[in-house]
Structure formats: C-alpha cells, structure tokens
Amino acid sequence: MWARLATLVRRVAGMPDYAAYTAHLRRCHPERPVPSEREFFADYLRTRYGDGASRCC
Amino acid sequence: MRLILWALISTAGAGAWAVLALHRGETVSAAWMVLAAVGTYLVAYRFYSRFLADRVFQLDDRRATPAERLGNGRDFVPTSRWVLFGHHFAAIAGAGPLVGPVLAAQFGYLPGVLWIVFGVVLGGAVQDFVILFGSMRRDGRSLGQMAKEEIGPVTGLLAMIAVLAIMIILLAPLGLVVVNALKDSPWGVFTIAASIPIALLMGFWMKAWRPGRTIEASAVGVVLLLLALVGGRWVGASPVLAPLFTWNGPTLAYAVIGYGFVASVMPVWMLLCPRDYLSSFLKIGVILLLAVAIVAVAPPLKLPPLTRFIDGTGPVFAGKLFPFAFITIACGAISGFHALVASGTTPKMLRRESDARLIGYGGMLMESFVAVMALCAAAVLDPGVYFAINAPLGALGGTVEKAAATVATWGFTVTPGQLQALAADVGEKTLLARTGGAPSLAVGMAQILGGAFGRTLTALWYHFAILFEALFILTTIDTGTRVGRFMLQELAGHLWRPLGRTSWYPGVVFSSALLAAAWGWFLVQGVADPLGGINSLWPLFGISNQLLASVALCVGTTLIIKSGRARYAWVTLLPLAWVLAVTMSAGWIKIFAADPRLGFLAHAGSVVEQIAAGAVDPARGARLVFNDRLDATVCAAFMLVTALVVVTAAWEWLQIFRHRKPATARETPFVETAYVG
C-alpha cells in the first residue's frame, strides 16, 4: 500500500524510481551491472534535465 | 441508458450556458460557470476526442508504444494512464492559465469563459493530442524534429527559432508578474527568498546525504516552505526585519534576472530538480483545493458578463475584444508551449496508444478547467476592487482616494476604506496597481478558500496563493533560461564550435548570461513602463505563444495529410485558421494602430513629440522610443516567422495533393504489443 502510493507520487512528480529500474534490469538485462542508488540518481538527472527540460508557462 | 445519461449531461451544460449568457440584473453563482464548462468538456471528450482517436488518428492498441519497445526503466517507462495524466498535467499547467483569464476579465466573464471552453475543445486539446500522437508514433521525437522530418529543414529551423523567441518573450512578463506581486511586500519576499535555501537543502539531501530519497526530501521541503509562509507574517510585522525584505520594483527585477542567470548555470540537482518537485506538489495540491472550495462555496460572480471595455478603452490592457481577448488568454484555450511537453517526456511513457486520448486531449481539458477557476476567482471580486488592483498606477493615481474616484469614472464603485481594509486583511500595505493578475487572483482565491476553510486566515491564504504562483514562475524562469541556453548553444555551435559544447563552462556561462540579459531587458523595460508593462508585454507573449501553436498545428495537419487522411485535415486546419486570424490581426494592430496606448509605433511617435515639447526627459524618452521600436520589430519578426512556417507547410501539402510527393508519414514501423487485453 505504502509502496504503491510512493510509486504514484514519484511518477506524477517525475521522480526517479530506483526499485522499478533495478527490477527492470534484473528482468530484461540480467547480464548488466546494477548501478548504486547514487549513480542511478546522477544518471536520472542527466536524462531528465540534460536538455534543459521543457515545461510550460 | 447511456443515451439518457449523455442527453442529461448535454442539457445540463447547455442550460448552464443559457443561465450565464442570459442572466441580467442579479448575480450568477460561480457554480453555473463550472457546470457549463464541465458539461462541455464531458460531451467534447466523449464524442469529439473519440472521433479524433478512432477516425483521424486511428489509434491502435495492438501497436507497441515507444515505452514498451524502447523501455529502459528510466525515461521510457510504460506508465498507467491516470498517473501519466497527473504527470502530463503537472508539466503543462503553469502560471499562464492563471494570469491570462484574470487579465481578460476586464471584458467581463462571458468572453473569457466562452473562449477558454470552446477554444480548448476545438483547438488547444486537438493540438496537444495530435502532437502527442505524432511523437508517440515517432519514438518520442520533439516538435522541431518532426517539423524538420515531415515538412522540411527550413521549417525545422524556423520552429527552433520560434521556440527560442517565445522563451525570451515568455520569461519577461512572467518575471513581471512576480515583481508586481512582491514589490513592497516583505511577507511575500521573505517567503519566496526562503524557498531558495529550502531547495538547496533538499538538493543536498537527495544528492549527498540520502541519495535518491526524493519523496522524503520533498516532504521536508513542503513543511519548511509552509513554515516560511507562516514566519513571513512575523517578518513583515517586525520593525527590524521588514525593511530588509521590502524591495521596490527595479531592485526585484534585477534580483529575478540574477536568480535566473545563477540558477541556470548551477548543477540541476542543487536548485532546479528540488524546485521542480516543490512546484509540482504545490500545483496539484492548490488546484484540487481550489476546485473543492469553488464547488463547496459556489460564490456569486460580481463581475458583469460584459463590461463597456469591449470597445478597447480598458485600463488593464488596451485593445478591443477581438482580437485581444484571444491573445490575452493563450494558455487555457490553446497554448503552443504544450507541443513541447507533448513531444517531450509524455510520449515516452504511454503504455497503450489509446491512452493518448485521455492524456493529450483530457490533460488539456484539465488545464482549461484551471483557467476557468482563475476566471471565477477574478469574477468573484467586486469589479471596483478588480480594477483598482489591475489598472496601472499611471491611470489610477497614487492614493486610495484618487483610485476610488478614477474607478468611479469607469462606472464601478469602490470606497477608499474598502481598499484599505482589503489590503490590511491580506497583510499588505497597498493592493493598488498590482498589475499582472497574480495579486487579484490571490485575493479572489483567499476569498474563496477563506469562505470554505475559515475567514480568519485570509492573509495566510493570500500569501499562500502568491507563494504558489511565484514559486513555479521562478521554476519556469530557471528551466526557460536553461532550455533557451541549450538552443542558443546549438545555434551558436554552427558559428563557432566550442560555443556549442554544453560541457564547456565558459560557453555555458556566456550563453546563459546572454539569454538572461535578453529577457531581462524586456523585464526591466516592463518595470519602468509608465503604462505598467503588462500592457505591452503580455500581448507580445500571447502572440508568440499562438505563433508556436500555429507551428504545432501546421505539423499536425501535415501528419494527418501524410497518413493519407486528408479528408480529416479540417480538425487542425480550423483552429489553425482561427489562430492565424487572431495572431496576425493582433500583431498588425500592436505595430500600426494610431492610438498610442495600443500601437508601438504610435506610442514612440507620441514620446518623440513629448520630448520635443520638453515634457519628457530626453534620455528617458529616447529609451522609451527605442523599446517601442524594439517591441514593434519583435512583433513583426513573429508574424514573419509564422507566415513562413505556414507557407512552407502549405507548399508541402500542395505537392502531396498534386501527387508530386507520396503521402507517406515517417512513422516507426508497426511492432505488435506483448501486452494482453
């Protein structure tokens, strides 16, 4: 219940979801190394705000 | 059964419109406005958006979306549709739908609500939907890339210039809204200033102390921000601290420009990312709160449906109902800016093709609803109070007595005592001439929220509303300067390669400074403008936003024609024709009108005469003349770019109709989905 609420809040606000990402890695790319939460966050910042992030008036 | 339900909804909506339009004499409840809007949205969503989804776009749930095919667990993530709806809405809704309707309320509430509701169902929501659809079929490509691939490289370049130009013009009036809301308001300045260290704290929390704990950090941030809001009252009353936070217009303007520059060169995790989260939460929270309060209180609309200012003599901004009501309200009815979001993060998160209907079309209906609520908040004010807050100081006179006398000449009554009492109620020294819409919206919101949740807190509600608007305007200023900087660097990289490298720090600082100076110039000009700045800057913003809408609608039309369904091209051509008619006539009037209040060139001419007569200081006059001519040039450039985009797109359509080019769209090939059901 709490975890589902947290996922909802994350998705709506566009926050990174480490648990979902590691789950995705284990399922689809088991050969790749799993990044630490710190690395993952840095990577998220690059993809989300890398191009300046468009947002409305 | 279904049939009866929809017949009931249609009748309720139509009935509410009839009440709004035909009611004379007594005041109408805001609930009618909400009912009319929601009834129209429901009918449009059920029938028109389904027609678009099934016939025009032919959404196909068997086709795998980019989120499924390219899923990487980060930006390409299949997301359930209501969650994505929330995300998309948080990204498209900003200050635009709150400010425009409040300004346009000078014509009365009827023109505004008609344009917001019918403009969105036939224009704005269609635009967002078609761009989201196009981007979804092209692996989440951006608007500029689609313009380049589907129409041609020239149009692609023009689209990019259009985006850069709108960014510069958008940031200036938004900055001005913040300046006018915060000037001489220590409570407001303290609260907004406190948001900077709070964001920094959140940034360090998420990056260094507890990496990735974004929800935890945001919760702390929201609590601290609310504490700062409450503490602001104490700061505002303190004889020692209040003077420190009492800033005048020009000082605030330079502070906002400085903030925009510094924030845009700082690493994103320090300021941008935490502020982004704070803004999102506050935005969704406030909008839900306001919707509940309007429905619960159902306040009467004190503003008349139409005022005498439809003849163009209004004090808030100059110009007649057509085209200026349609320029002033851009976001909320149709907003070109959304095309950037609809071709940004959202298309990469769609789980199924048919979800695009709820998110593209439905998301924009929701934004339109926010605009309707903003209009309600302005219309529940006494008209006299509304004009005293929104008319420029030059028109009102400097004291409450003079202002009351001026407002009386416009045919509305307000007493000096009433104005003083209202200012005291919301914890300000004065509310006169706080142009830009935010303060009157905040007063209206404070009245509505106070009515629902207790009157004793009026001052707190007012400052809460100001905080909420200023917070996300500053976030927009940060992201806008950043996006503009990236685009500038991309363009400049063609001239001198090192400038294009986004990791080369001198290049970053240089282009950020250039961009902040560009919009800062217009902001400072607005603060110094004796007519109040919003008067000249907001129409320019409206024109530029609608210009981007015409680019988006041209791209949308091309997509529809190229997928071989030209017989449905009217769904985008119709709003395109309307937006062009509005933009072009407004642009023409702003440049060439003979009335100095309206036309840039006529105003320049009148200043030249005043200089010759010795009525204006020559140095100051020369600056005013330069600014007028600059505004006229910018406006002409917008019109030229729009015309070029339309002509290049029309040329492409003609080639297809004459069978010189095949009608094939460059969609990503079909891949069947692995999802069941």
Residue type, B280: S
Residue B635 has pLDDT above 90, yes or no: yes
Query: What's residue A57's pLDDT?
Result: 52
Tell me whether residue B222 is in a domain.
no
Q: Give yes or no for a contact between B396 and B403, defined as CB atoms under 8 angstroms apart.
A: yes
Lowest mean pLDDT among B119-133, B232-246, B467-481: B467-481
Tell me whether residue B28 is in a domain.
yes
Write the pLDDT tens digit of every residue in B310-343: 999 999 998 999 999 999 999 899 998 888 889 8
Burial class from Cβ neighbours inside 10 Å (0-12, 13-18, 19+) for residue A56 reads: buried
Residue type, B551: V
Q: Coil, strand or helix: which one is B249?
A: helix
Question: Of B202, B206, B268, B284, which to mutate for an interface test with A (greatest number of A Cβ within 10 Å)?
Answer: B268
Tell me whether residue B192 is in a domain.
no
The residue with greater pLDDT, B546 or B51, is B51
Tell me whether residue A56 is in a domain.
no
CA proximity to B222, closest of B292, B269, B275:
B275
For chain B, how many residues are written? 677
CA proximity to B365, closest of B129, B111, B105:
B129
Which of chain B's residues have a Cβ under 8 Å away from the Cβ of A13? 87, 90, 214, 218, 276-277, 280-281
CA distance A1 to chain B (A): 16
CB contact under 8 A, A45 and B269: yes
Query: What's residue B675's pLDDT?
Result: 80
Tell me whether residue A55 is in a domain.
no
In DSSP terms, which residues pair with B672 in a beta bridge?
Answer: B63
Tell me whether residue A47 is in a domain.
no
For the record, the structure tokens of A23 come out as 């789950």
Write the pLDDT tens digit of every residue in B15-43: 999 988 887 767 899 999 999 999 999 99
Angle subtended at Cα B62 by Cα B61 and Cα B63, rounded to the nearest 5 degrees: 90
Tell me whether residue A5 is in a domain.
yes
| Domain with A4 in it | 1-30
Tell me whether residue A45 is in a domain.
no
Write the pLDDT tens digit of every residue in B459-470: 999 999 999 899
For the record, the structure tokens of B360 come out as 């593209």
Chain A: residue whose CA lies nearest to B346: A14
Tell me whether residue A41 is in a domain.
no
Taking the mean position of all CA atoms in its chain, how far away is CA B439? Answer: 16
**B67 in reach of chain A (CB within 8 A):** no
Residue type, B433: A
Looking at residue B332, the DSSP 8-state letter turns out to be: T
Tell me whether residue B193 is in a domain.
no
Taking the C-alpha atoms of residue B643 and residue B555, their distance in angstroms, rounded to an integer, is 14
Tell me whether residue B401 is in a domain.
no
CB contact under 8 A, A56 and B341: yes
Question: Of A4, A10, A12, A57, which to mutate for an interface test with B (greatest number of B Cβ within 10 Å)?
Answer: A57
Tell me whether residue B321 is in a domain.
no
Taking the C-alpha atoms of residue B393 and residue B51, their distance in angstroms, rounded to an integer, is 50
Q: Coil, strand or helix: which one is B260?
A: helix
Tell me whether residue A51 is in a domain.
no
Taking the C-alpha atoms of residue A51 and residue B326, their distance in angstroms, rounded to an integer, is 31
**B328 in reach of chain A (CB within 8 A):** no
Residue type, B140: G
Helix locations, B183-271, DSSP H = 186-204, 214-237, 249-265
Torsions phi, psi of B28, nearest 5?
A: -105, 145
DSSP letter string, B542-553:
HHHHHHHHHHHH
When divided into structural domains, chain A yields a total of 1
Which uninterrupted H or E stretch holds B29?
A: strand B28-29
Tell me whether residue A38 is in a domain.
no
The mean pLDDT value of chain B amounts to: 91
The residue with greater pLDDT, B396 or B258, is B258
Q: Which of residues 468-527 of B touch A (CB under 8 A)?
A: 475-476, 479, 482-486
Query: What's residue B525's pLDDT?
Result: 92
Query: What's residue B162's pLDDT?
Result: 84
CA proximity to B523, closest of B214, B324, B259:
B259
CA distance B260 to chain A (A): 13
Residue A56 has pLDDT above 60, yes or no: no
Taking the C-alpha atoms of residue B297 and residue B453, their distance in angstroms, rounded to an integer, is 10
Write the pLDDT tens digit of every residue in B167-221: 899 899 999 999 999 999 999 999 999 999 999 999 999 988 998 889 999 999 9
Write the pLDDT tens digit of every residue in B158-172: 888 888 888 899 899
Which of chain B's residues have a Cβ under 8 Å away from the Cβ of A56? 91-94, 96, 331, 335, 337-338, 340-341, 476
Write the pLDDT tens digit of every residue in B344-381: 889 999 999 999 999 999 999 999 999 999 999 999 99
Tell me whether residue B448 is in a domain.
yes
In DSSP terms, which residues pair with B300 in a beta bridge?
Answer: B29
pLDDT band at B532 (very low <50, low <70, confident <90, very high): confident
Query: What's residue A55's pLDDT?
Result: 55
| Domain with B383 in it | 6-70+84-184+247-306+349-392+433-657
Query: What's residue B227's pLDDT?
Result: 97
Q: Give yes or no for a contact between B96 and B335, defined as CB atoms under 8 angstroms apart.
A: yes
When divided into structural domains, chain B yields a total of 1
Chain B: residue whose CA lies nearest to A9: B215
Angle subtended by helix axes B618-657 and B153-182, to nearest 10: 140
CATH number for the domain harbouring residue B603:
1.20.1740.10
Taking CA atoms, B551 is separated from B83, B116, B304, B625, in Å, by 29, 20, 36, 31
The alpha-carbon radius of gyration of chain B (Å, integer) is 24
Residue holding tokens 């969650």?
B83
Torsions phi, psi of B79, nearest 5?
A: -125, 140
Strand ranges (DSSP E) for B527-652?
Answer: none
